[in-house]
Amino acid sequence: MRFSLAFSLSWLLASVCFADFPELFNTEPESEKSLMPADEAAAKMSVPEGFRVTAFAGEPDVQNPIDAAWDSRGRLWVAENYTYAERDQRFQLDLRDRIVIFGGTDQDQFTERTVFTDDVQMLTSVEVGRGGVWLMCPPQLIFIPDADHDDVPDNEGEVVLDGFKVADQNYHNFANGLRFGPDGWLYGRCGGSCPGRIGRPGTADEDRLAIEGGMWRYHPDTQAVEVLTTGTTNPWGHDWNDVGEAFFVNTVNGHLWHMIPGAHFTRPFTLDPNGKTYELIDFHADHWHFDTGQAWNMSRDGVANSYGGGHAHSGTMIYQGGTWPSQYRGRLFTLNFHGRRANQEILERDGSGYVAHHGKDTFLAADPWFRGMEITSGPDGNAFILDWSDAGECHEHTGVHRTSGRIFKVSHGSKIAAKPDLKTWSSLDLAKTVTDENVWYRRQAKIELASRRADGQDMSGVAAFLTDTLLTAPDAATEVQAQLMLHIIGKLNWGMNYKSEYARATEIRLAAEVFPIDDAFGPDWKQNRPSNQTQDELETLLTLITSAVEAADSPFVDLTIASCLQRLPVEKRASIAKLLSSHNVANDDHNLPLMIWYGLIPVAQTSPEQLVDVAKTCQYTTTLRLIARALAEKIDSDPEPISALLEYAAKKNDESYQHAVLAGVAQGLKGRRQAPRPQSWDSVVTITTPSLQPVVRELSVVFGDGRAMDELTDIVTGKVDADFEMRHAALETLIQSDAKNLRGICMNLLGDARMNVMAARGLSKFDDPEIGKTIVDRYQRFRAPQRPKVMSILVSRKSFALPMLDAIAKGKIQRKDLSAYQVRQLHGFNDPELSERVREVWGEVRDAPEAMAKQIEKLKSVLTDDYLAEADKSHGRSVFAKSCQNCHKLYGEGQKIGPDLTGANRGNLDYLLDNIVSPSSVVDKDFRMTLLLLDDGRVVSGLVTSENDNAVTIQTATELITLDKELVVQRKVTDKSPMPDGLLDQLTETDIRDLIGYLKHPSQVSMP
**Residue 640, Cβ density class (10 Å: 0-12 exposed, 13-18 middle, ≥19 buried):** middle
Residue 474: pLDDT over 60: yes
From the list 973, 980, 873, 865, the residue with the least C-alpha distance to 920 is 980
Q: Is residue 84 part of a domain?
A: no
Residues 829 and 912 in one domain: no
Q: Is residue 414 part of a domain?
A: no
Under 8 Å CB-to-CB from 975, ≥6 apart: which residues? 920, 923, 928
Residues 922 and 983 in one domain: yes
Give, as one character, the DSSP assignment of residue 844.
P
Domain-ending residue, one of 842, 866, 895: 842
**Residue 147, Cβ density class (10 Å: 0-12 exposed, 13-18 middle, ≥19 buried):** exposed
Cα pseudo-dihedral 863, 868, 871, 877, rounded to 10: 80
Residue 26: pLDDT over 70: yes
Residue 33: pLDDT over 90: no
Share of the chain above pLDDT 70, in %: 91
pLDDT-based confidence at 393, cuts 50/70/90?
A: low
Give, as one character, the DSSP assignment of residue 302.
G
Residues 900 and 876 in one domain: yes
Q: Is residue 572 part of a domain?
A: no
The overall average pLDDT reported for the chain is: 89
**Residue 870, Cβ density class (10 Å: 0-12 exposed, 13-18 middle, ≥19 buried):** exposed
State residue 265 phi and psi, 5-degree precision: -95, 160
Residues 895 and 963 in one domain: yes
| 757 strand-pairing partners | none
In tens, the pLDDT along 876-898 reads: 888 888 777 766 777 667 766 56
pLDDT-based confidence at 980, cuts 50/70/90?
A: low
Instruction: Identify the pLDDT of residue 883.
Output: 75
Residues 962 and 934 in one domain: yes
Residues 919 and 964 in one domain: yes
pLDDT-based confidence at 278, cuts 50/70/90?
A: very high
pLDDT-based confidence at 169, cuts 50/70/90?
A: low
Q: Is residue 153 part of a domain?
A: no
pLDDT-based confidence at 847, cuts 50/70/90?
A: low
As a whole number of angstroms, the distance between CA 462 and CA 479 comes to 15
Contact status, residue 489 vs residue 449, Cβ threshold 8 Å = yes
pLDDT-based confidence at 308, cuts 50/70/90?
A: confident
Residues 856 and 811 in one domain: no
As a whole number of angstroms, the distance between CA 1007 and CA 308 comes to 30
As a whole number of angstroms, the distance between CA 38 and CA 385 comes to 13
Helices (H) and strands (E) in the chain, counts: 30, 34
Residues 854 and 972 in one domain: yes
Instruction: Identify the pLDDT of residue 580.
Output: 96
Q: Is residue 83 part of a domain?
A: no
| Mean pLDDT of all residues in 294-306 | 61
Helix, strand, or coil (residue 968): strand
Contact status, residue 191 vs residue 235, Cβ threshold 8 Å = yes
Instruction: Identify the pLDDT of residue 16.
Output: 38
| Mean pLDDT of all residues in 914-923 | 66
Instruction: Identify the pLDDT of residue 14.
Output: 32
As a whole number of angstroms, the distance between CA 769 and CA 758 comes to 19
Domain of residue 808 covers 769-842
Residue 954, amino acid = I
From the list 100, 92, 78, the residue with the least C-alpha distance to 22 is 92
pLDDT-based confidence at 772, cuts 50/70/90?
A: very high
Q: Is residue 868 part of a domain?
A: yes
Residues 914 and 797 in one domain: no
| Mean pLDDT of all residues in 787-815 | 94
Contact status, residue 630 vs residue 611, Cβ threshold 8 Å = yes
**Residue 857, Cβ density class (10 Å: 0-12 exposed, 13-18 middle, ≥19 buried):** exposed
Domain-ending residue, one of 842, 859, 876: 842
Residues 983 and 854 in one domain: yes
**Residue 9, Cβ density class (10 Å: 0-12 exposed, 13-18 middle, ≥19 buried):** middle
CATH code of residue 893? 2.30.30.100
Residue 888, amino acid = H
Domain-ending residue, one of 818, 842, 866: 842
Q: Give me the helix-helix angle, 742-749 and 706-716, nearest 10°.
A: 10
Q: Is residue 439 part of a domain?
A: no
Q: For the ranges 629-643, 750-764, 904-918, which has the lowest average pLDDT?
A: 904-918
As a whole number of angstroms, the distance between CA 809 and CA 824 comes to 18
As a whole number of angstroms, the distance between CA 177 and CA 334 comes to 14
Q: Report the 3 state secondary structure along 801-824.
A: HHHHHHHHHCCCCCHHHCCHHHHH
Q: Is residue 697 part of a domain?
A: no
Q: For the ranges 578-582, 715-719, 1003-1007, which has the lowest average pLDDT?
A: 1003-1007
pLDDT-based confidence at 5, cuts 50/70/90?
A: very low
Residues 934 and 962 in one domain: yes
User: For the CA atoms of the chain, what is the radius of gyration?
Assistant: 31
Residues 824 and 861 in one domain: no
Q: What is the pTM of this model?
A: 0.87
Look at the chain and report how many structural domains it folds into.
2
| Sheet with 132-137, side-by-side order of all strands | 125-128, 132-137, 140-145, 158-162
In tens, the pLDDT along 615-625 reads: 999 999 999 99
Q: Is the peptide bond before 785 cis (omega within 30 degrees of 0)?
A: no
Contact status, residue 5 vs residue 334, Cβ threshold 8 Å = no
